[in-house]
Amino acid sequence: MPYDVHSPYGVSLRGRERGVKFVNPYRVTGELSEVERWKLERHPLEVADAVINTYALKGPKAIGAVAGESERLKWVGLYPQLQGGDAFMLRVKVPGGFLTAAQAREIGVVAEAFGEGPEESAVFGNSYADLTTRQDVQIHWVRIGDVPRIWKRFAEVGLTTVQACGDSARNVVSCPVSGVDADEVLDGRRAALAITEFFTGNREYANLPRKFKMSVTGCREDCAQAEIQDVGLWPARAGDGRVGFNVLVGGGLGDGERFASDVDVFVEPDQVVELTRAVAQVFGELGNRENRGQARMRYLVQELGPEGFRSELAARSSFQLEPAGEELTRRYRGDHVGVHPQVQPGLCYVGCSVPVGRMNGIELVEAARLAEQYGDGTLHLGTDQNFVLTGVPEDRVDDLLSEELLGKYSPSPGPFVRGVVACTGNEFCRFAVVETKERAVTWARRLDEALGEGAVADAGVIRMHFSGCSASCAQPQIADIGFRGDTAHVGERIVEAVDIGMGGSLGTDAGFIDWVENARPAEEVPDALVRVLQRYRHERRDGEPFYNWARRTPNDELRATLAGLAIETGERR
């Protein structure tokens, strides 16, 4: 990794010392968007020095005096919170979801020491270390004056916030049990770390048309969600028996969701950095820099088509592209919750369910202690907002399970608590229109109490994902049941509400949810869900997951069931 303890922000910002100039080689036929003009005026990575030398000393008002500076702050992991003033969210990159105990402990200490909010939540407390769907950790209530000290502390344990946000390569995700999964094809985390090393701090690839999300996994269960990434690498076998990765490009959620396209390319592990570099070059040169609403890479892939994109990629790659191999992905597992054997004899990994990903700092410190006392000294974060302890000897598993922290973040939760994911919501985010995290946990617990036994529990996990707006940070489109923040009129009041969708999944039977109902008041949702899930319990076929049942049930019937209306149903194929 390119971590540099002598650098105040944890990495060397490369390119400037080599005399690389920021130029404009882009395909532009009209006027650049405002954000693109800001990025041309000053390279976004230069905001790191401004934070240290100016904003930390003069305060947040100095940021507002510089055009585009709040946007540039994203390149060092900083977002202004909804509350405004001196309140920021700081995002920490965790490549491949892999943390040493020392790193996990430091994030927890920083969350407690620098991220304490003014009001305490009855559910979560007031100092948060939020685990995200990109294996990052977010800390809230950070003051700009504390950021240089936080960066210094992070750098000493090999952490950085550089390019955790912004129009650049975001955190590279991977299977959280890479290297220990008894059934993986190859260790994808090594490739994820190599990609991270190339892109982090690299000026030449740090100004792309929009965010650039990559995943790489060698597991057979699509843990890194390849189909919804700008670049997704998942395991494959070439005709001569070599194992590596097939390449998908152009996936994404939000408005205009799209599954990634197979561009008929197989790469070996030592080719992944050059492959992703070449994809970033295609995106940087040909992507839309005029309309940010159409700037994600999926729109470019849609425009060029898979064959056209492959042609552009081949023209920029330093090696000849090889046709795709045999895909080795079998299904979408979704999480690694529970106790499971590792490939190393006598060892287990223990996946712990963290409802909606919200821990407090002290709890993350405690998780670090458990990793050292019972495991191999590492903590692994998943895209499901959970964490995994690895390297636990079989004869110590029971002692670990008896620890108080695992009573709260259980390896054996109910099917709804296990599958609940939520974004930040309007507690902190300026775009969200509803509160998400407390509401999602409350709903999941209610459903586990009402339906967590019997046929519904036999389904294993029912994923409920809750996004506070259409940006899809909680990935509702790939959930069994997805929620999207909305508002509704109830009498003369405007109340928080949600759009409800059903039937999403990834893997071999991938499909996005259908949005079944719009703007149902949030207070009505728990009872509506109970009605739908009771119907699923009575109608599901042997072994049928919820998303398949929802897909074969007409939307008008699902809508009627949500509303509590009587319907007539018959046997369906």
Domain boundary, last residue among 279, 306, 327: 327
Mean pLDDT of successive 10-residue segments in the chain (573 residues)? 66 58 59 95 96 97 96 97 95 98 98 86 77 98 97 97 97 97 95 97 96 97 95 98 98 94 98 98 96 96 98 98 96 93 98 97 97 98 98 98 98 95 95 96 96 75 95 95 96 95 93 97 97 96 94 97 78 46
Measured from the Cβ of residue 255, the count of other Cβ atoms closer than 10 Å reads: 10
Tell me, yes or no, whether 295 and 425 share the same domain.
no
Based on the number of CB atoms within 10 Å of its own CB, is 358 exposed (0-12), middle (13-18) or buried (19 or more)?
A: buried
Task: Judge contact between 3 and 157, C-beta under 8 A.
Answer: no
The stretches of 243-287 forming alpha helices (DSSP H) are 272-286
What pLDDT is recorded for position 556?
97
Crossing angle for the helix pair 525-539 and 555-563, nearest 10 degrees? Answer: 130
Tell me, yes or no, whether 460 and 311 share the same domain.
no
Task: Judge contact between 189 and 174, C-beta under 8 A.
Answer: yes
Number of domains forming the structure of the chain: 2
Residue 569 counted as domain residue: no
3-state secondary structure 10-25: CECCECHHHCCCCCCC
Q: Among 434, 452, 460, 420, which residue's Cα sits nearest to residue 533? A: 452
Tell me, yes or no, whether 287 and 155 share the same domain.
yes
Tell me, yes or no, whether 433 and 553 share the same domain.
yes
Domain boundary, last residue among 289, 306, 327: 327
Residue 211 counted as domain residue: yes
For 232, 249, 262, 320, the CA distances from 310, given in Å and listed in that order, are 14, 10, 10, 11
Residue 492 counted as domain residue: yes
Task: Judge contact between 295 and 288, C-beta under 8 A.
Answer: yes
- Residue found by looking up tokens 């996994």 in the block: 217
165 three-class SS: coil
What pLDDT is recorded for position 221?
93
The enclosing domain of 513 has a CATH number of 3.30.413.10
* Exposure class string for 184-216: b at 16+ Cβ within 10 A, else e: bbbbbbbbbbbbbbbbbbbbbbbbbbbbbbbbb
Tell me, yes or no, whether 422 and 312 share the same domain.
no
Residue 545 counted as domain residue: yes
What pLDDT is recorded for position 15?
66
The pLDDT tens digits of the residues spanning 118-133 come to 876 666 677 889 999 9
Measured from the Cβ of residue 237, the count of other Cβ atoms closer than 10 Å reads: 16
73 three-class SS: helix
- Residue found by looking up tokens 């004056």 in the block: 145
Residue 159 counted as domain residue: yes
Distance separating alpha carbons of residues 139 and 128, to the nearest angstrom: 6
The stretches of 287-413 forming alpha helices (DSSP H) are 297-316, 361-374, 397-401, 404-408
The DSSP bridge pattern shows strands 231-237 and 214-216 to be: parallel
Tell me, yes or no, whether 428 and 314 share the same domain.
no
What pLDDT is recorded for position 18?
40
Range of the domain at 280: 16-327
Q: What is the DSSP letter of 260?
A: P
What pLDDT is recorded for position 22?
39
Tell me, yes or no, whether 135 and 278 share the same domain.
yes
Residue 74 counted as domain residue: yes
Residue 338 counted as domain residue: no
Based on the number of CB atoms within 10 Å of its own CB, is 244 exposed (0-12), middle (13-18) or buried (19 or more)?
A: buried
Distance separating alpha carbons of residues 223 and 175, to the nearest angstrom: 5
Measured from the Cβ of residue 14, the count of other Cβ atoms closer than 10 Å reads: 18
The pLDDT tens digits of the residues spanning 100-115 come to 999 999 999 999 999 9
Domain boundary, last residue among 327, 346, 372: 327
Residue 551 counted as domain residue: yes
Q: Among 305, 213, 215, which residue's Cα sits nearest to residue 264? A: 305
What pLDDT is recorded for position 434?
97
What pLDDT is recorded for position 117?
81
Radius of gyration of the chain (CA): 23
Distance separating alpha carbons of residues 111 and 173, to the nearest angstrom: 23
CA 512 to chain centre: 17
Tell me, yes or no, whether 433 and 321 share the same domain.
no
Tell me, yes or no, whether 431 and 532 share the same domain.
yes
For 78, 165, 387, 480, the CA distances from 50, given in Å and listed in that order, are 13, 17, 34, 44
Measured from the Cβ of residue 571, the count of other Cβ atoms closer than 10 Å reads: 5
